[in-house]
Amino acid sequence: MNAKRVAHYDIVRPLGSGGMGVVYEAEDTRLGRRVAVKFLPHELARDPQALERFQREARAASALNHPNICTIFAIEQHEGEHFIAMELLEGETLATRLARQRLEVSAVVEIASQIADALESAHAKGIVHRDIKPANVFVNDRGQVKIPDFGLAKIERASRSRGDAGADGETRADQSLTSAGTAMGTVSYMSPEQARGQLTDARTDLFSLGTVMYQMASGSLPFPGDTSAVVFDAILNRDPEPLGDAAGVPGNLARIIDKALEKDRNLRYQTATELKTDLARFKRDVESGRKRAAGDTGRQPAAAEAHSVAVLYFENLSGVKEDEYFRDGITEDIITELSKIRGLKIFPRPTVLAYRDKSVTPQQVGRELSASFVLGGSLRRAGNRLRITTQLMDARTNFPVWSERYDRQMEDVFELQDEIARKIAEALRVTLTPQEQAALAAKPTENLQAYDLYLRGKSYARRWTRQDLEFARQMFENAVSLDAGFALAYAATANVCALHHYLYGRDPMWMERAQAAAERATTLGPGLPEVSVAQAWVLYAGGHLDDAINIVKQAIARKPDCEGGYYLLGRALFSTGRYQELADLAEKAIEASGEDYNVFSPIQNALGALGKPEALRNMRQRRTLAIETHLRKVPEDVRARMMLGIDYAIAGRTEDAMREVNIATLLRPDEAMVLYNAACAYCTMDMLGEALDALRKAWEAGYRDAVWTRRDPDLVKLHGHPEFERLYPA
């Protein structure tokens, strides 16, 4: 490649070459970012069938959105040459690292887990890499793994038959195996089915990963040889040298690697999920052993023997939809109570949300979540009377381990939660430490009416409109008037006051209220993650974005599913231009946020700013599904309806988009956030006059965040318009 400019890419320098072509670092002049461009070999580009297959598979691979997978930006053609533009990888290949040293066990497990996580995501979309090897694994300075060429390796046979087995960044030192003078550098990582020329599937990648794990753990290949024939014979007929304590590899890890290297693929790991789970279990057991060795013997039973329990949302038998907020609150509090017992592994709230109001068996839940036990039940509230039935089921046998029916007064609800947690621990023979007993005995409030108001307020605060926030604030303030020591209610008050200040005009009164409530919450519950999130919202609303990021990260570290935590982190990261950091935590944020559709917005904006159209399209589809599901349960949520209108507009569903926009603006014509999102929808449909009018009304209604507005990709078409620049100046 002699040209300095190819299409709209300025070539900077060559990065490597191999059987799948030559790779260059380049500057994307349209988007102002550095990328890698890979040119296909001429012989491949001249084969119409191979070229069409490459383009099809590259398009499929470009839909992958995973922090451990190199993102494909575009498939391009210039003067008869075909190339792809993709993420520029930083760091070094795993091959380079292994050439320096054998890896520690912790590094082996961490790198292998990230590769397995990437494979899990790709295999779920029917994409098999087929060329997993150290030269195709990049590791940056923070230890993050990136894998290139998903989907591209499927057409490797076209070049392998000619004897060229190189790949991106692979050196000739890696092509040292010879057969009649032909380089076959990747033979060592082939699966038996690849070696036989049979059809391959996802299990091929798992065998190759097993080979990489063996090499990382032992410092040598499992199937060595001086020629390709010797290596083929070893892969097909010989077992690798045993790993184990004698080789400095823990026995449990050796067994994981052995299973990945099973020659019979029916006996091998069948999915990347299975392999990833075993690695996670090994990592947990090592950590548990380290704590015991350090003298931490307070846990009964040990972490390696912890019982995994999935707590399903109780069935609401009252028949009153209004009671669902109470049912949800009780269930989530029981999850929280059980999470205080270190001898139990409790699945977080977002994980079990998928089963709410669905007919499932304990065996089904146990199989899908790898849970040993499932707690289910029902709740009926009538006046001041409460009836709760609970059953703890063995997920393997579908038989009950413990069951109980409680007929209590409403004021007994906290003791009831405590008792359920203790009974489950007793049924599973888990001994509670004094600290755990004290934690279970602690109550969020001594006043049941205050607790009920708090739960009711939470159900409205999630919707963000002025009317809903005002109603939620009243609920929270009434709660603290009943119990002046209710830290969670003070934190929730701080949240809604900060949001009111941020969304609906910058009246100092709202910030003063938010700060006072946050200070009170901090005094009463300084260690509560919910209090930290409240502090962060106050900082965010006041423009102190970096401080907000630091505090909310601490809250998430203590409680990943802390309500609103990841959404706030996403907004703050986007507002500070830290797009890649936000994109990297997208999956964790979505998983931890459960049904909170709000979490998608900053992630989508970051993907748009990074120039990742396929990843953005995939994320929008996921948000659309999440909002449609939410609106079937809460059709009155106008914020959700407006955001759905934006998604429909982007998808070209103009009639559906206008329907949602019209309903939302009719229901809440003066809501700043509704008007702002209406502007986004109009802009997407090229209705720029309507977009500017809606944006002006949003500004008049109090939404005046110029930083977010100017970064929002949905409003790019308005940049430069005098009215837009007047309202939201740079």
- Which domain CATH number covers 382? 3.40.50.10610
pLDDT of residue 297: 43
Secondary structure (3-state) at 136:
helix
Q: Among 593, 502, 580, 493, which residue's Cα sits nearest to residue 541?
A: 502
Query: Distance (Å, rounded) from C-alpha 623 to C-alpha 279?
Result: 31
Residue 179 contacts by C-beta under 8 Å, 6 or more apart in sequence? 227, 228, 229
Looking at the structure, do residues 246 and 308 belong to the same domain, yes or no?
no
Q: What are phi and psi of 271, to 5 degrees?
A: -140, 155
- C-alpha to C-alpha distance for 556 and 582, rounded to whole angstroms: 14
Place of tokens 């790898």: 370
In a domain, 12, yes or no: yes
Residue 221 has what pLDDT?
Answer: 92
Q: Which residues of 631-668 are buried (b: 16+ CB within 10 A; e: fewer)?
A: beeeeebbbbbbbbbbbbbbeeeeeebbebbebbbebb
Are residues 28 and 41 both part of a single domain? yes
**Which among 95, 112, 162, 156 has a CA at the least distance from the CA of 130?**
156
Regarding whether 61 and 100 lie in a shared domain, the answer is: no
Q: Exposed, middle or buried by CB within 10 Å (0-12, 13-18, 19+), for 237? A: exposed
pTM of the model: 0.52
The pLDDT value given to residue 60: 66
Backbone angles phi, psi at 351, to 5 degrees: -70, -35
Mean pLDDT of all residues in the chain? 82
Q: Does residue 118 lie within any of the structural domains?
A: yes
Q: Are residue 203 and residue 280 in the same domain, yes or no?
A: yes
pLDDT of residue 690: 94
Q: How far apart are CA 147 and CA 431, in angstroms?
A: 44
Measure the CA–CA gap between 424 and 311, rounded to whole angstroms. 11
Parent domain of 196: 92-285
In this structure, what is the dihedral angle of CA atoms 231, 232, 237, 239, given to the nearest 10 degrees? 40
Same domain for 109 and 62: no
Boundary-marking domain end, from 26, 61, 87: 87
CB-based contact 50:158 (threshold 8 Å): yes
> Does some domain include residue 623?
no
Catalytic residue among 10, 28, 117, 131: 131
46, 202, 619 from 66: Cα distances, Å? 32, 17, 11
Evaluate the CA torsion angle 684, 687, 689, 695 in order and state its sign.
negative
Instruction: Let me know whether 405 and 516 are in one domain.
Output: no
Residues 412 and 269 in one domain: no
Low-confidence ranges of the chain (pLDDT < 50): 151, 153-185, 296-305
pLDDT attached to residue 567? 92
Instruction: Please write down the long-range contacts of 525-529, taking CB distance under 8 Å and 24 or more positions apart.
Output: 525/487, 525/488, 525/491, 528/487, 528/488, 528/491, 529/555, 529/556, 529/558, 529/559, 529/562, 529/565
Examine residue 643 and state whether it is found in any structural domain, yes or no.
no
Please indicate, yes or no, whether residues 314 and 360 belong to a single structural domain of this protein. yes
Report the pLDDT value the prediction gives residue 292, as an integer from 0 to 100. Answer: 55
CATH number, domain of 161, equals 1.10.510.10
- Domain shared by 235 and 121, yes or no: yes
Residue 532: the pLDDT is 95
- The predicted-structure confidence for 426-476, as pLDDT tens digits, reads as follows 888 777 777 777 877 777 887 888 888 898 888 888 777 788 889 899 999
> Do 256 and 313 fall into the same domain?
no
Query: Which of 542, 563, 584 is the last residue before a domain boundary?
Result: 563
Residue 31 in domain:
yes
**Beta strands of 155-261 (E only): which ranges?**
178-179, 182-183
Q: How far is CA 53 from CA 56, 96, 128, 130, 716, in A?
A: 5, 31, 14, 15, 35
467 shares its domain with 430: no
What the block records as the tokens of 687 is 């209705």
Sort 405 into a burial class: Cβ within 10 Å, 0-12 / 13-18 / 19+. exposed
| Pair (269, 191) in one structural domain | yes
CATH code of the domain in which 553 resides: 1.25.40.10
Give the chain's domain count: 4
Residue 525 located in a structural domain: yes
Looking at 61, 87, 113, which one is the last position of a domain?
87
Q: What would the DSSP string read from start to end of 636-698?
A: T-HHHHHHHHHHHHHTT-HHHHHHHHHHHHHH-TT-HHHHHHHHHHHHHTT-HHHHHHHHHHH
The span from the CA of 623 to the CA of 679, in Å, is 19
- Would 664 be classed as within a structural domain? no
702 in any annotated domain: no
Alpha-carbon torsion, ordered 120, 121, 127, 133, to 10 deg: -60
Q: Is 452 a known active-site residue?
A: no
Yes or no: say if 328 and 313 are a contact pair by the CB < 8 Å rule. yes
